[in-house]
Amino acid sequence: MFSVINSEWYKLRKSKVLFLLLVAPLIGLFIGLANSSIEIEEINAWHEKLVMMNFTYAILFLPLISGVLASVICKYEHQEGGWKQLMALPVTRGKVFLSKYLLLILLMLAMQLMYLVSIYLVGVIEGITDPFPMDIVWKSIFGGWVATLPLIALQLWVSIAFKSFAAPFAINVIFTLPTILVINSERFGPYYPWGQPFLMMNIGGSTGDVFFVPWDQILTVVGSSFLIFFIGGYLYFQKKAI
């Protein structure tokens, strides 16, 4: 299993797209710095930055970048018979699927950590003297990551199914863009998988819950969409004719 992940990492690393992981944290950094003029009365100056930065990052870039990476990890397999070559090696399809998925979620975790660094940098540059609210920031970072797990599973499924790079990207955008509207709806917001990264990173959410949203929402929406997308993609790949 480790050797398969290792091989996947090797192929992805050489494709020179890992700079994409820097894009979202950097944009977060700029947003954090650009809004320095607005003064909001807050208990902690960090909160204001977090709200500003999380909005664009969690609604747009987290889902989009994860989708693009999922496409890249399949792109070179589609190009010149990579699937054929890979599956003629002594590996099971299940292992290949799982390896690609694990690698993707690890990379997204790395991106979340870089975003954490961005947040901290903004504070340092702006000279925020309030104590860094690690107790809520880690929830935001980790919660946002958990919420993208189902989205990555779906993007991997779609990227395996379509040879073209455009199709998975289009699907990604189609589901991601409405998020900005859906999260404002009390009724639909909590049930929209693409809205979860924002809701789980939103430090302004209900403070009584561990991840700013109720546990049952995490389990039902994130959990069930993960199961559907992951099992769907897994089974699809098992059956796919290569």
Q: Which residues make up the interface to another protein (CB under 8 A)?
A: 3-4, 6-7, 10-11, 14-16, 76, 79-82, 84-85, 87-92, 241-242
Q: Closest separation between CB of residue 64 and another protein, Å?
A: 22
Residue 88 or 117: the one with the smaller Cβ distance to another protein is 88
What residues contact 228, with CB distance under 8 A and at least 6 apart?
150
Task: Give SS3 for 190.
Answer: helix
Residue 43 or 89: the one with the smaller Cβ distance to another protein is 89
Q: Closest separation between CB of residue 114 and another protein, Å?
A: 24
Q: Closest separation between CB of residue 230 and another protein, Å?
A: 23
Angle at 22 between CA 149 and CA 158, to 5 degrees: 35
Task: Give SS3 for 118.
Answer: helix
Q: Closest separation between CB of residue 233 and another protein, Å?
A: 19
The amino acid occupying position 125 is I
Q: How far apart are CA 133 and CA 141, in angstroms?
A: 12
Comparing C-alpha atoms, which of 76, 16, 63, 28 is closest to residue 225? Answer: 63
Residue 73 or 119: the one with the smaller Cβ distance to another protein is 73
Residue 117 or 235: the one with the smaller Cβ distance to another protein is 235
Q: How far apart are CA 86 and CA 93, in angstroms?
A: 9
**CB-count exposure of residue 147 (10 Å: 0-12, 13-18, 19+):** buried
Q: How far apart are CA 66 and CA 106, in angstroms?
A: 11
Q: Closest separation between CB of residue 16 and another protein, Å?
A: 8
Residue 22 or 87: the one with the smaller Cβ distance to another protein is 87
Comparing C-alpha atoms, which of 53, 68, 69, 63 is closest to residue 118? Answer: 53
Residue 161 or 180: the one with the smaller Cβ distance to another protein is 161
Q: Closest separation between CB of residue 98 and another protein, Å?
A: 14
